[in-house]
Chains A and B, each alone.
Chain A
């Protein structure tokens, strides 16, 4: 009404810069959607491991939220609503064994939020994935508690319980490795497979695979669905895949990075893995690798973290390949867990470099 003096002017309408439309998928919504994508796998972990699993998740998420609050409150920024601290705490907890002493997830979450995320300026400014950094910190600090696992459904925390990955390593390292299969090692370590596994594997073997002259080993079904010892949220590949499908179909993450990550890892495992899949599926070949450890969770939920991965699709593809190579090397020759968290942290260091290599035409010569 600037041009119409005298008249009882209504309050001026707000002036805003173009464009006047925006995508519905906000950063906040995306972050909460990633948490939602992890929910089925988390629920499965809580179902298998009960209260100890809930305790770990509550402590890891609670500590992350408290740490975020403590840092942001003095400057009167309330950042919990963006969902990022919740997600970081959640991933930290989901990668840990149920029943681990609670100071371990607490310390890992606090380190993730305070040191890795907030000391660099909070959301968007950290160069390392907070959850992966927190996990690596915990693995370096408390390797022993982080390698004691619970058996599913009511087992106590034991030193002797093996994860599929432990069994795989034993199979690779032990004398006569070529004969031992990880599943055989699992069962010889006293690991009892579920009744469901016995019936499903038996049915598949007699009805589907017998005519083909091959068979599944006992335990295959348990490994496939994640009825095994392992991280609370990382054991169930199908449920993680379900969440990943949801995120990709809704445009929250792009497929490039996870597909190249998992793909390059599988190729290396197939060529150099030592245990072929010749003795039947899930007997230690690439698919067994995919289903053990944190690979699926890391590849679909942690590595695509936009903050710490390269900007462009080309960069994301290269990043994925690099992570696959690193994970393979660390898993076979390293000692830091299953190598997923460590390789993502190492990869994060290289992300800015990849950004420069994969810079778009027309910007590459001037990027300095």
Chain B
């Protein structure tokens, strides 16, 4: 086990009193009687719909075919009959086609043990094909199809491969829980990626709160014969961000180190299932928490499950919700109803009460500099904010606006409750639309 010597700057320490108990096992969420599966659950274009109302689908059947290189396959998460194919507005605002499946018929694969397939003899293209076919995308937040990250030109290799288990967001413990329960499978997934990339250095990066898993991981690594380091990083938010994990591991300022492939542990588990079990990605582990959730839990939920069902499964809400967030508390998107389906990118659900939902009245900037201290990217958020508000996003761009990853630390740290991230995001958007030459993008 190693500890990095030089850590990235910035970050914040939100209170974590709403943590899921660390001893709790990951529970399988109830199978929904109806799954509403959006065909856009990844970074590229929406998948092409392959089914029509009335079609009978089997569990794991392909219902959406990847459209273009950055798109990904989408599969039926439950067996049944397609009852509807319609437009759906996703929490992030995009509109896509969604397939509604009414549960029916047999579960042909769930609950039955699957034989592990041999993969060592497979060629790189065959391995990548299994990952691509299964619709695996980055489950840590990027939603980029994973086979793209693992494809290197023939003859070359990636300098570094990192399994990222540093918590992505405060209170989101699904990755940690998965690592506790599925470490051998995750290491096996890492071995597949290792075989694909042939990296010079392989690291499993853990957060401080998973530190006791180190001996177990090192034992599994020894058994697997793969040479990899296990490194413990501080769990301070947002230092689980891919660039910041790399910065800590390489001891360089973020964005200046050598290229590397960073995969979240949930993604590695999906790679394991895709390659060894030939199982498509139809479910994920997510954290359901928040001040008004009666019993916060980590649940394994099928895509298309309503978040309402998952909140029910956690004992329901103790009071009227003031705000429901899909994703984590720092980067998640608030939704206006509980009828939102779980997708590949849903890392969690956070329910706020009426009292803790509102950020408080906005006051003028008092130039305290807390946002500067909090920014892990060495930006001056208050200045970028003022430049964008003055209508000069280009000037903000010259001062590093594009380095902003919208981690939310500046807005979190702002005592005047200024929506810094929202304005910086607007600034980035207007720059993009200027570049495209369209007035509204």
Contact = CB atoms under 8 A, between A and B. Distances in A.
B359 interface: yes
- Ordered nearest first, which 3 A-B pairs have the shortest CB separation? A19-B408, A124-B364, A17-B422
Contact of B383 (A122, A124, A316, A363): A363
A311 B367 contact: yes
A119 interface: no
A10 B336 CA distance: 10
A20 B413 CA distance: 12
B339 interface: yes
A40 B352 CA distance: 39
A311 B360 contact: no
Interface in B224-255: none
Given A19-B421, A311-B380, A27 B336 contact: no
Contact of A16 (B359, B373, B383): B359
Contacts of B417: 22, 26-27
B218 interface: no
Contacts of A362: 378-379, 399-400, 403
A310 B369 CA distance: 8
Contacts, number: 156
B368 A16 contact: no
Given A124-B367, A362-B400, A363-B379, A18 B415 contact: no
Interface string B299-343: 000000000000000000000011111010111111111110000
Given A21-B329, A27-B415, A124-B363, A13 B89 contact: no
A313 B339 CA distance: 47
5 contacts: A16-B357, A17-B421, A19-B421, A27-B363, A363-B383
Given A3-B339, A16-B323, A124-B366, A26 B406 contact: no
A360 interface: yes
A27 B398 contact: no
A309 to B, nearest CB: 8
Contacts of B395: 366, 368
A125 B364 contact: yes
Interface in A7-33: 9-10, 12-23, 25-30
B382 interface: yes
Nearest to A306: B368
A14 B337 CA distance: 9
B416 A26 contact: yes
Contacts of B367: 124, 306-307, 309, 311
Interface in A66-88: 82
Interface residues on B, range: 35 or more
A363 B399 CA distance: 5
Interface in B391-441: 395, 398-400, 403, 406, 408-409, 411-417, 419, 421-422, 425
Contacts of B359: 16, 22
Given A3-B339, A125-B364, A366 B330 contact: no
A16 B365 CA distance: 20
B270 interface: no
A122 B363 CA distance: 11
B44 interface: no
Contacts of B335: 13, 15
A22 B414 contact: yes
Given A21-B329, A27-B366, A124-B365, A311 B323 contact: no
A17 B323 contact: no
A10 B321 CA distance: 11
A20 B363 CA distance: 17
A227 B140 CA distance: 63
A312 B358 CA distance: 29
A4 interface: yes
A1 B324 CA distance: 13
B313 to A, nearest CB: 19
Contacts of B363: 26-28, 82, 123-124
Given A13-B334, A26-B417, A360 B378 contact: yes
B423 to A, nearest CB: 9
> Considering residues A13, A20, A29, A316, which has the most beta carbons from chain B within 10 angstroms of its beta carbon?
A20
Contacts of B365: 124
> Considering residues A19, A21, A22, which has the most beta carbons from chain B within 10 angstroms of its beta carbon?
A19
B413 A23 contact: yes
Contacts of A21: 14, 170, 329-330, 412
A367 B365 CA distance: 19
B325 A27 contact: no
> Considering residues A1, A13, A21, which has the most beta carbons from chain B within 10 angstroms of its beta carbon?
A21
B437 to A, nearest CB: 25
Contact of B399 (A306, A311, A366): A366
A22 to B, nearest CB: 5
A14 B412 contact: no
A2 interface: yes
B415 A25 contact: yes
A14 to B, nearest CB: 6
A152 to B, nearest CB: 36
B372 A23 contact: no
Contact of B380 (A17, A123, A124, A363): A363
A207 interface: no
Given A123-B363, A363-B400, A19 B372 contact: no
Interface string B82-102: 000000110000000000000
Nearest to B361: A28
Contacts of B324: 13
Interface in A116-163: 122-125
Contacts of A367: 399
Contacts of A16: 323, 334, 357-359
Contacts of B332: 18, 20
A14 B354 CA distance: 10
B336 A13 contact: yes
Contacts of A4: 337, 339
Contact of A23 (B330, B338, B415): B415
> Considering residues A14, A22, A29, A307, which has the most beta carbons from chain B within 10 angstroms of its beta carbon?
A22
B350 interface: yes
Contacts of B415: 23, 25-27, 29-30
Contacts of B170: 21
Nearest to B335: A13
B408 A13 contact: no
A312 B366 contact: no
Contact of A360 (B338, B339, B372): B372
A20 B366 contact: no
A304 B386 CA distance: 22
